[in-house]
């Protein structure tokens, strides 16, 4: 059996480079200020949802380079918040099934919103088809990753 890191985070052997070198270091840098401000993990999840929905809204104008850059920055901020909520929960001892469910729901809502906005802005049958395929692909990938992560820690 592989023991997860003591802080409950993902083992670095299965962490992708963007999380390892960008997202999680930024989330870690924000942990102390979040703890000082007594921000709850659930509040961080909902803030992340707002950032992700803002990114999805910016994608409405995907033909504009400025809108794409804004969407990218908001998506990065959402990913940082998505990493921070778990860090806050673990640091405060408030991890719960509800928090994990809220985190997952917020994540999926951001992706659904992004796919819907892009499909709506394209406005064609092929645009909708691609959005549905992307959504299904994302759901399958997410389920497979989480299953493999749990299996890794059981070994």
| pLDDT single digits (tens) 128-153 | 999 899 988 888 887 787 777 777 76
Asked, for residue 8, whether it belongs to a domain, the answer is no
Asked, for residue 3, whether it belongs to a domain, the answer is no
Residue closest to 51 by CA, chosen among 32, 89, 79, 27? 79
Q: What is the pLDDT of residues 35-60, one digit of tens each?
A: 999 999 999 999 999 999 999 999 99
Give the ranges where 7-124 is alpha helix by DSSP (H): 17-18, 24-36, 41-58, 65-92, 97-122
Average pLDDT of the chain is 89
Asked, for residue 104, whether it belongs to a domain, the answer is yes
Asked, for residue 4, whether it belongs to a domain, the answer is no
Structure pTM? 0.83
Q: What is the largest CA-CA distance in the chain?
A: 49
- Across the range 66-76, mean pLDDT stands at 97
Asked, for residue 5, whether it belongs to a domain, the answer is no
Number of domains in the chain: 1
Percentage above 70 pLDDT, the chain = 90
Asked, for residue 110, whether it belongs to a domain, the answer is yes
Asked, for residue 9, whether it belongs to a domain, the answer is no
Task: Look up the domain containing 111 and give its range.
Answer: 14-154
Contacts of 41 (CB under 8 A, 6+ apart): 85, 86, 88, 89, 92, 94, 95, 99
CATH of the domain at 68: 1.20.120.1760
């Amino acid at each position: 059996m592989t023991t997860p890191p003591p802080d409950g985070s993902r083992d670095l052997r299965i962490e992708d480079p963007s999380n390892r070198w960008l997202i999680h270091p930024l989330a870690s840098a924000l942990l102390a200020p979040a703890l000082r401000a007594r921000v709850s993990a659930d509040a961080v999840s909902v803030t992340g949802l707002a950032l992700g929905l803002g990114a999805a809204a910016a994608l409405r104008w995907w033909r504009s380079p400025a809108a794409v850059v804004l969407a990218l920055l908001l998506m990065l901020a959402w990913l940082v918040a998505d990493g921070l909520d778990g860090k806050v929960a673990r640091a405060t001892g408030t991890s719960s099934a509800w928090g994990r469910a809220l985190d997952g729901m917020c994540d999926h809502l951001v992706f659904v919103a992004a796919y819907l906005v892009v499909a709506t802005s394209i406005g064609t049958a092929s645009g909708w088809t691609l959005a549905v395929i992307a959504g299904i692909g994302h759901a399958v990938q997410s389920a497979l990753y989480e299953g493999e992560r749990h299996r890794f820690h059981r070994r």
